[in-house]
Structure 1
């Protein structure tokens, strides 16, 4: 069996949400304050028998209205649905029999936690809350104060089994059959595991003591019991010898110690203090300390380990404890039936390779049935890149409203799902964590967007924007994940930057090839033309959370082309890696020289057999009758620049140059730089 879903109502950041779980590993991700910790807390309120289940006023959902508070006292309700899983154990159905809501081949059971004001106090509550004036600016503050000061102490909790309508209290014995082990994000694992004085280690030691006998399949139960008993007796006899030797060594000293007791009057009525003792195996555990022994023979205490290493050891001990708790032969009727493990931020103190190994370790324990269901909350892109989309649950909080996304369920075809799964490496899976996402086509845009935002006195980082390079026009695969009009999507703000990429082909049977924007429609009789239509699918305001931005259809080509078109005299963009650097600087000088026409710029372009592209630029610019002289001059420089760069290296050099220039802002050395309008619009939308 497994927990198939949880319904959370009026608890912390969950107004009313249903979250579905996997039979196995559940990796719960999301940006900060999306509700990951609250989700685990909600689970624990239902199934963790060891933790307090009382709540406070701050645990109620904050977006409640005054009218709601006046109509009825707030109540928290959390229910989990338990279903038949892939792997079944004989005692599963027995444990949940009193909680069943559906009994057939795919049985279902429900447990519901409720935190509420008893009925006898409701009328008094309504009377006090109703006295608050709706027009009072501090009405909500006053209402919550009344709730906190006068009524929260009367609140009670119940755990119901089965259909909530029946109000049948879940039996405590069955609840105790659930083992919920939780390792929170703020943890002191060293305190909890370093010596045998700790409860966790003692329980594990007790179970695994004489483990060679316990797992010996050649012996029956009676023989195992007798063999273990014989070892206990032998240990006790050896311990008695040690205690007796200790007593003999302290005999004279004891008399001196006790003489003080007699003088103080502690000895009276023929009763004298003395020392006596014995040592059990349990007491001997306290002398055992966790160490790490290296192959060289060097031994160091666990206190000298790194925190990450000790976290891994502690998690292994937790799983060992769960094995102990679930062993029927060891605990008989006290054995746990359903074992669940919840871990917050396992990546704390673990480097990426360790994170991957840890995840593999958890899956192995699930396969070996040492734990039935696992819940992991994480900020680690390395963990999300190592798991399948089927195991990921995304939480996204926007304006106080929490939404749940299931990346594996949103795709209508396996092609897109497989593409995204392959694409989500440790860098790109950041799209699942960020509050907003900016998709770009290439490395140049990815490197430069944050700097462009800074030129606009904005910050993509402060607005929690992830910049994701999709390596082309492959936006559609990823947009499926975030389209708010689709079920199971993650409806966060998405902005895409795409190039116009104009193309032409000879009629009737030619193939489309790249062309310049000034070549569009100059020979419609013999050529067919087109531009990238991706941007037209999601224009601004057409879809609630996805917007495309691109260059003007009649002027735009690529990102680099548009940079120069908007900054035709900006020498910052002419980096050392450009192959025709001197020629482009010369073109820029001509552009700045008053009275020069586009013909003067064309004259600079080299002719000859090796310069077919230059001849094409000259012919098409001259033939174009739509562009102004200034637009033609800009287009000449942009075209020559585009044909002279290597994108990756050039983008890095532009980053350095623009950042150095930005550092000079406010001084006379600062060079003006124009952000292309479509990029400016995109950044402004993301930084709203």
Structure 2
């Protein structure tokens, strides 16, 4: 059996709905479930709710307080809250254990177990009530059955030294007390029998007492203490004497004397936390029947990332009849956990990421699990998101945002570089089958990738020769043959059928079969009447078709794609009022490439700026020919786009010349960015996620 559904009414941040529905309904699955979200997203509330209802194997004391009751914006607290747990996957053994309280699923095909915790407060007294069965016909559950619902709770590992060393608050003692080796046993007459540790401890006590008694090696110590007391403090005739002895002797007292260590010297905090986890797993693995559920809160606390990964790998490998509910705000863990095991917490809602709930395809899951690294996993913790498809955008967008007074970090916005057109897979994370909204603005900044006319305005490219163009009148014919090709990622123009075949092979997916036969059928569509010579009207039509297609595919709920007017980010900047700054950055990147030993100082940047202004003396917006001339080294790959973007980002941020020293006025640069039509889509994307 496993915990399938948790419902909360007026518990902490989750206010009951006006129609009586719970403030939160969260669905869990067998095996591993990972609660992911920023601070105060509700992770602890969910873990505590489960813990409050089911209680823990190690018997932590649970005390309700006023803060467990929902508080409205005016400061008024509710006087009661309710928590419901629903258990599924009940087998014959489970049914025998909980028979009196079972109910049927709606389709009458399986057993369910439902339990509730009702908590009321009146006159500063908090009164909890636990019940189980069928709602409206609930009954109390006996203590033996409740024992079988107890969970193993991995506390946030913030005080491992106290937990794993001796003392009254020893967590190790609690864990050992709950283990079957230390359960109370009775003899045939029904009398409680002493544990072996208790009898051995009694022997040790005797030996220590004898050591300090008359005739023992430590007799002189007790004699000296008693002489001092008799001579200076005790009244005449007082018969009392001091003794040195071990106190206590009950099993719980003995267990509190124990330490768990890994090495002779004092262990570091990381090692102590590993010992904590190992001890908790001891308790978890000892459970033989009933619910086998472990709650792991803040798995990453004080653990080195490599330990985190080893631990999540172990937990993920456990049997399906075990259930783990973990919470984390670690991007390292988020990047390594399978997407289908995640539950993302946003606002007052929970979003399971398994295929039952998202619009992700099986191929999306495989792709994202392969490429979702710690940087990209940031998207699960952001309050706003900008997806970009390259290093240049990743560097430039934060700099532009800062320039226009929209520092992304202050708004909790993350920029995620997904690489090429992979954003199509990433946005599906946020598209839900049930239509629920994440409530988070997501901007996708992409290239239109339709080359400018000037690119073809070169005899070597022969723009007058008719070519095949991937327009919307051709695409439906191709899609009738196969939809297993990323047509959006393909080139928009083909010199020949062989060039078309090369693009198809490059952008087909694994289900594109049979390859040769399918490609031949597609090539048959490319008849001579579909070859057209280039003109501006064709480019404009292709751009508009692609823009509409991408917007229809991506835009949904609060997800919105932002596209340039013509081609790429760098081309748009080359055609904007920032073209001279871009040209300066390109020259700096070229210098770095040609002279790697040379440090590009502000003095050199200013000299490059002067060279650019001499080469392009005109003010205002450049011509298309000038824009392409500036952009051409980036397009041809003779200069690194990423290094160019690095220099341009530093210039726009006012960290590098010619802006840092005032040669170019920063306010003027800001005005260009805010008002230039070529850069409008970037500004709109930034404002979309920050307003």
Would you call these one fold, judging by a TM-score over 0.5?
yes
Q: 1:152 to 1:461 in 2, by over 3 A?
A: farther
SS of the counterpart of 1:166? coil
**Number of the residue aligned with 1:46:** 53
C-alpha deviation, 1:162, in angstroms: 1.6
SS of the counterpart of 2:590? coil
Q: 2:467 & 2:38 partners in 1: Cα distance? A: 52
1:569 to 580, 602, 608: 580
Higher deviation after alignment, 583-592 or 22-31? 583-592
Q: 1:20 to 1:207 in 2, by over 3 A?
A: closer
C-alpha deviation, 1:18, in angstroms: 0.9
Q: Is 1:3 paired with 2:6?
A: no
1:107 to 98, 104, 111: 111
C-alpha deviation, 1:338, in angstroms: 2.6
Summarize deviations over 1:310-346 as a string: whole Å, max 9, x none.
Answer: 111111112223445x36xxxxxxxx74343222222
SS of the counterpart of 2:589? coil
C-alpha deviation, 1:54, in angstroms: 2.5
Gap regions ≥5 residues in structure 1: 118-150, 212-220, 223-227, 294-298, 328-335, 596-627
Q: 2:626 & 2:8 partners in 1: Cα distance? A: 63
Is contact 1:482–1:492 with CA below 8 Å preserved after alignment? no
What TM-score results when the alignment is normalised by the length of structure 1? 0.71
**Number of the residue aligned with 2:503:** none
1:406 to 346, 350, 353: 353
**Number of the residue aligned with 2:508:** none
2:217 to 234, 249, 265: 249
SS of the counterpart of 1:393? strand
Q: Is 1:166 paired with 2:137?
A: yes
SS of the counterpart of 2:151? strand
Is contact 1:393–1:404 with CA below 8 Å preserved after alignment? yes
Summarize deviations over 1:76-119 as a string: whole Å, max 9, x none.
Answer: 1110101126xx584x33443333222877321111112236xx
2:81 to 76, 82, 91: 76
**Number of the residue aligned with 1:557:** 567
C-alpha deviation, 1:631, in angstroms: 4.7
**Number of the residue aligned with 1:359:** 312
Q: 2:6 & 2:109 partners in 1: Cα distance? A: 21
Is contact 2:42–2:345 with CA below 8 Å preserved after alignment? yes
SS of the counterpart of 1:115? strand
Is contact 2:26–2:350 with CA below 8 Å preserved after alignment? no
Q: 2:372 & 2:643 partners in 1: Cα distance? A: 24
2:44 to 37, 40, 49: 37
Summarize deviations over 1:583-622 as a string: whole Å, max 9, x none.
Answer: 9986753432489xxxxxxxxxxxxxxxxxxxxxxxxxxx
C-alpha deviation, 1:569, in angstroms: 2.3
SS of the counterpart of 2:351? strand
Q: 1:527 & 1:547 partners in 2: Cα distance? A: 22
**Number of the residue aligned with 2:414:** 466
Is contact 2:12–2:67 with CA below 8 Å preserved after alignment? no
C-alpha deviation, 1:525, in angstroms: 9.0
Q: 2:126 & 2:468 partners in 1: Cα distance? A: 78
Q: Is 1:637 paired with 2:630?
A: yes
Q: 1:158 to 1:507 in 2, by over 3 A?
A: farther
Q: 1:233 & 1:51 partners in 2: Cα distance? A: 29
1:59 to 63, 69, 73: 69
Q: 2:533 & 2:570 partners in 1: Cα distance? A: 19
Q: 1:267 to 1:377 in 2, by over 3 A?
A: farther
1:395 to 336, 345, 352: 345
Q: Is 1:589 paired with 2:614?
A: yes
Is contact 1:569–1:589 with CA below 8 Å preserved after alignment? no
Q: How does 1:521-532 map to 2 (within 5 A)?
A: 522=535, 529-530=542-543
Q: 2:141 & 2:195 partners in 1: Cα distance? A: 39
Is contact 1:484–1:491 with CA below 8 Å preserved after alignment? no
**Number of the residue aligned with 2:601:** none
**Number of the residue aligned with 1:300:** 265
Q: How does 1:134-533 map to 2 (within 5 A)?
A: 151=122, 153-185=124-156, 187-195=158-166, 199-202=170-173, 240-247=206-213, 248-258=216-226, 272-273=240-241, 275=243, 289-293=259-263, 299-302=264-267, 305=268, 307-323=269-285, 326=287, 337-364=290-317, 366-367=318-319, 372-397=322-347, 401-409=348-356, 410-411=358-359, 413-483=361-431, 486-487=434-435, 490-502=438-450, 509=468, 513=491, 522=535, 529-530=542-543, 533=546
Is contact 1:2–1:84 with CA below 8 Å preserved after alignment? yes
SS of the counterpart of 2:662? coil
C-alpha deviation, 1:209, in angstroms: 12
Q: 1:632 to 1:407 in 2, by over 3 A?
A: farther
Q: Is 1:668 paired with 2:662?
A: yes
Is contact 1:161–1:169 with CA below 8 Å preserved after alignment? yes
Summarize deviations over 1:359-389 as a string: whole Å, max 9, x none.
Answer: 123345x4397xx322111111221222211
C-alpha deviation, 1:291, in angstroms: 3.8
Q: 2:32 & 2:291 partners in 1: Cα distance? A: 15
Summarize deviations over 1:488-537 as a string: whole Å, max 9, x none.
Answer: 6644211011112115996575678568xxx9962769998456725654
Higher deviation after alignment, 499-508 or 429-438? 499-508
Is contact 1:499–1:557 with CA below 8 Å preserved after alignment? yes
Is contact 1:574–1:584 with CA below 8 Å preserved after alignment? no
C-alpha deviation, 1:646, in angstroms: 2.0
Q: 1:28 & 1:594 partners in 2: Cα distance? A: 55
Q: 2:225 & 2:403 partners in 1: Cα distance? A: 81
What TM-score results when the alignment is normalised by the length of structure 2? 0.71
Is contact 1:79–1:112 with CA below 8 Å preserved after alignment? yes
2:558 to 528, 539, 545: 545
C-alpha deviation, 1:285, in angstroms: 6.0
Q: Is 1:651 paired with 2:629?
A: no
**Number of the residue aligned with 2:25:** 18
Q: 1:382 & 1:46 partners in 2: Cα distance? A: 31
Q: 2:174 & 2:662 partners in 1: Cα distance? A: 73
Provide the aligned length of Structure 1 versus Structure 2: 572
Q: 1:76 to 1:284 in 2, by over 3 A?
A: closer
